[in-house]
Each structure stands twice: as C-alpha cells, then as structure tokens.
C-alpha cells in the first residue's frame, strides 16, 4: 500500500496501492501557511492544543468558501480523518507481516506470547479519529440503493447507468467549494478508499447510499465499522494468505509503529489523539528502519523492538478530567436513529403527479428533520447519564484499588 503526494492548499491526494486503489480528494486548509505535510516537529503552541480538537488553520489566501467543506466534516465527526498528515506509506512487507501476526479471534497483534497489541473500536478511534459510538451500517434493499444512485447521477448530470469514480468526485468537490453538501462525495471516497476499502475501482453503490445523507453519516459508529471490516479481512487472510486486503490497513500500521519503542526518541506526543495526525512519511520510515535494524540479520523482519509501556501511551484506560476520557468511551450510551422516511417512502412515489409528489416529499422531509432533532436530544440526555456512570465506576475502582493495593484498572464495558 502507498500514499503519495503532498497536500497543497486546495488538493489532498492519497494513493492506495495493493488492495486500496488510487483516489484524489480536494481538501483545503490541511495545514497552516508555510507548513509542510512532512515536518515531524511542532511548535509549542501546537503541542498544547486540546486533544481531539487539533485542526489545521486555513491556508493563507484560501477563499472563505473553502472552509465550508471542513466545517461540515467537523460537524459530522470526520474532520480528524481528513486532516491526516501522512504523505506516503509504502510498506507492503510490514502490512503482510502484520496481517500474519494479527489474530482475528482476539484482535491482538501477537509479536510474542508476552508482547501483544490489542485492537478495539476505541483503539481505532484513538488512532484514526473516527467517531466512536453510534449506529451500525445497515444497507437497505437493492431498490432503495439503486434509487439513491440514480438520484446522485441525476444531480451530477450523468447517465443513470454511469459508475462514479474517485477521480470524477474529486472534480465535483473542486467545482462546489461553496456547497457543504459536496462533502457527501468526499465521504464516498473516504469510505471506499480508506475506511472501508473495496477491490472495486468505482465507488460501490452501497457507499453512495450511505454517504448521500450526511445526517446518517454523522450517526454511524465509524470506529466500530472499521474494526469489524478489519476483523473480517483478517479472517479472509487466514483462509487465503496473500490475498487482497480490503480493510483499513493504515490503522493497523500506525497502531503497530505507535507501540514500538525506538532506541532514539522521536518528536511525537504519545498522549495526543488522533495519533495518525502525528505521523509523517519520515517518521514512519524512521520507525520501520529502526525496527528492522534491531533484528541484526533481518530475521525476523519486524517485531524486533520492545513495546512501549501501556501507561505511557494514549491507549491506557485512565479517567480524564470531569469524568471524561477513555473510560467514558467504553461505557457507551445507546444511539437513537429513527428510520429515514424519505429513503423508505421516496422510491415509491414516482407514480404520483409531480406537484403532489413534491408536497408529500417536503412533508416527509420535515418529519425526518423533527425526528432527527428528537433523537439527538434523547442521545444527549443519555450521554449525560453515561458521564455520571463513568465517574461512579472510576470512584469504585479507585476505592477497590485502595483496599487491595495498586493493581491495573479493569476495563468496565457497558456496551450497547
């Protein structure tokens, strides 16, 4: 797999080889004016920014409209992924080694019996910055998916039978800088080329359906989706070693490199999240070379460096300020997502007169909006309860540790 190209002020180009084909996406403001995507150093101001709030400022001279795409991405929770700083990643040998070493049953990268790296949806969230918590991706019947595809092709002014490619969608995004709804096309590319990649050169119609509704996108548990896709890909790999990989291997590589302890310190804040924003091509090359050199004769090719103590990394389960932190992430509130009536009823209204059809669609859209507002309010109230639960659980754990001495904190799991 490789990612090539710089990130100029108006275009971010990501190329995935092997199982992840090429894609190009317009992503303005990925860095400050004068900065480069490959610089591993950070000034003091950047180091002190709050976690999960890091976002590059608009490039100097960028049109105000360019902000709208990132604002929308931030609103739906995917801005952190869009701001990744990796310029390239050409490590097919490391990827194959990691696929061989990762157990799909335990979801652990097993280097040796006493050296393992656990993968969970929360870990995916900490690495990639994908939202944690929400609904699963449930694809509707083919008729609904096909109807959405035809709606998008009609919007783009192309034949209904046309397939959408990443290159085509890049041009659409470039031409619609003032339109935040153009983020739908970025999400289509993001799904099919990075988060949930497929072997298809074109964007799958199911991905088009998912990304066509940004409210639906915002409600999805993307960390769980990436985790499940990686688990499935690992099982396929075990059955057919050397087969094509259809999962987010970028997450797997960064997680491994993030946990090894190089002989010389590198300029990375181990507690900063999402951690993929701390990695550049130079840092990846440095860590891979250090790991290979530590093996002496090159056997084994990787897994030669010791692992960092878990307590020194962002992956440790430790309560943060005011009841927020990793423990709050594993104690998860339900996500409420009412069915989208427009998607369900809309495809069946073609036989109505156009004026009646439009009035009915508008009424249904108003209903969907009210249901969305209601579900968000219900979820907000549940999350308040979750915060209180996390605080109480941590107090109980601290009290038990005080009675029995210092022992590692257990992970409290109250999953939906």
Segment 66-90, tens digit of pLDDT? 567 878 888 888 888 777 766 556 7
Peptide bond connecting 164 to the previous residue in cis, omega within 30 degrees of 0? no
pLDDT confidence of residue 346: 80
Tell whether pTM > 0.75: no
Q: Are residues 295 and 327 in the same domain?
A: no
Q: Which of these three, 244, 278, 312, is where a domain ends? A: 312
Give the distance from CA 130 to its chain's centroid.
3
Cα–Cα distance measured from residue 372 to residue 413, given in angstroms and rounded to the nearest whole number:
28
Compute the average pLDDT of residues 359-380. 81
Pair type for strands 22-25 and 12-15: antiparallel
Residues 327 and 261 both lie in one domain: no
Q: Which of 45-49, 217-221, 291-295 has the lowest mean pLDDT?
A: 45-49
Of 215-224, 230-239, 295-304, the least confident: 295-304
Q: How confident is the model at residue 403 (pLDDT cuts 50, 70, 90)?
A: low
How far apart, in whole angstroms, are the C-alpha atoms of residue 267 and residue 84?
17
Helical axes 121-128 vs 249-259, angle rounded to 10°: 90
| For the ranges 42-51, 76-85, 310-319, the one whose mean pLDDT is highest | 76-85
What residue spans of 43-120 are helical by DSSP H?
A: 44-47, 67-75, 79-82, 92-101
108 shares its domain with 222: yes
What is the structure's pLDDT at 164? 94
Distance CA 357, CA 377 (A): 30
Q: Which residues contact 338 (CB under 8 A, 6 or more apart)?
A: 368, 371, 372, 374, 375
Position 334 scores a pLDDT of: 55
- For residues 330 and 303, membership in a common domain is answered with no
Burial of 253 (0-12, 13-18, 19+ CB in 10 A): buried
> Quick one: average pLDDT of 272-283?
84
Distance (Å, rounded) from C-alpha 53 to C-alpha 74? 10
The mean pLDDT of the chain is 74
| Same domain for 160 and 246 | yes
Domain boundary among 258, 282, 312: 312
The token pair that represents 81 in the structure block: 């992924």
Per-residue model confidence (pLDDT) at position 127 = 92
**pLDDT for 401:** 63
Number of domains in the chain: 2
With CA atoms as reference, report the closest residue to 53 among 284, 297, 324. Answer: 324
Same domain, 271 and 328: no
Structural domain range at position 391: 321-404
pLDDT band at residue 404 using 50, 70 and 90 as cut-offs:
low
Residues contacting 305, CB < 8 A, separation 6+: 260, 261, 262, 263, 290, 291, 294
> Domain for residue 130, yes or no?
yes
Residue at a domain's end among 312, 337, 353? 312
Note whether 37 and 136 are same-domain residues: yes
Do 28 and 144 share a domain, yes or no?
yes
- Residue 302 has phi, psi (to 5 degrees) of -140, 175
Q: Clarify whether residues 141 and 262 are in a common domain.
A: yes
Same domain, 115 and 94: yes
Residue 73, CB-side half-sphere exposure with 13 Å CA sphere: 26
Which residues, 6+ apart, have CB-to-CB distance to 43 below 8 Å? none
* Whether residues 277 and 168 fall in one domain: yes
51, pLDDT greater than 60: no
Average pLDDT over residues 326-352: 67
Q: Binning pLDDT at 50, 70 and 90, where does residue 230 land?
A: very high
pLDDT at 402: 66
Are residues 208 and 305 located together in one domain of the fold? yes
């Amino acid at each position: 797999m490789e990612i090539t190209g710089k990130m100029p002020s108006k275009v971010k180009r990501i190329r995935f080889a092997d199982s992840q084909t090429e894609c190009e996406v317009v992503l303005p403001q990925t860095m400050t004016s004068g900065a480069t995507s490959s610089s591993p150093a950070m000034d003091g101001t950047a180091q002190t920014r709050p976690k999960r709030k890091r976002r590059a400022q608009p490039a100097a001279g960028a049109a105000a409209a360019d902000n709208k795409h990132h604002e929308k991405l931030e609103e739906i929770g995917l801005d952190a992924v869009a701001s990744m700083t990796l310029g390239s990643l050409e490590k097919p040998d490391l990827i194959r080694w990691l696929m061989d070493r990762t157990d799909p049953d335990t979801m652990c990268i097993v280097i040796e019996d006493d050296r393992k790296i656990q993968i969970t949806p929360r870990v995916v969230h900490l690495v990639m910055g994908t939202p944690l918590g929400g609904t699963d991706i449930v694809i509707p019947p083919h008729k609904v998916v096909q109807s959405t595809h035809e709606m998008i092709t009609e919007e783009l002014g192309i034949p209904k039978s046309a397939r959408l490619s990443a290159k085509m969608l890049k041009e659409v995004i470039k031409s619609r800088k003032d339109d935040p709804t153009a983020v739908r096309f970025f999400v289509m590319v993001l799904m099919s080329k990075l988060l949930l990649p497929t072997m298809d050169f074109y964007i799958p119609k199911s991905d088009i359906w998912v990304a066509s509704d940004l409210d639906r996108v915002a409600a999805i548990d993307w960390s769980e989706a990436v985790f499940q896709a990686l688990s499935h890909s690992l099982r396929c790999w075990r059955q057919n070693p050397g087969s094509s990989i259809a999962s987010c291997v970028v997450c797997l590589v960064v997680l491994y490199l993030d946990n090894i302890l190089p002989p010389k310190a590198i300029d990375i804040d181990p507690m900063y999240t999402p951690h993929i924003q701390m990695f550049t091509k130079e840092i990846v090359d440095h860590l891979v070379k250090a790991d290979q050199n530590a093996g002496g004769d090159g056997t084994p090719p990787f897994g030669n460096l010791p692992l960092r103590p878990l307590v020194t990394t962002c992956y440790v389960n430790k309560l943060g300020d005011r009841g927020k932190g990793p423990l709050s992430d594993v104690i998860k509130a339900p996500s409420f997502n009412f069915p989208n009536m427009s998607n369900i009823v809309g495809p069946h209204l073609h036989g109505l007169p156009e004026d009646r059809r439009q009035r009915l669609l508008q009424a249904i859209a108003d209903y969907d909006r009210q249901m969305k507002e209601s579900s968000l309010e219900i979820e907000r109230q549940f999350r308040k309860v979750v915060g209180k639960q996390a605080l109480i659980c941590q107090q109980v754990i601290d009290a038990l540790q005080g009675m029995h001495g210092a022992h590692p904190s257990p992970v409290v799991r109250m999953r939906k």
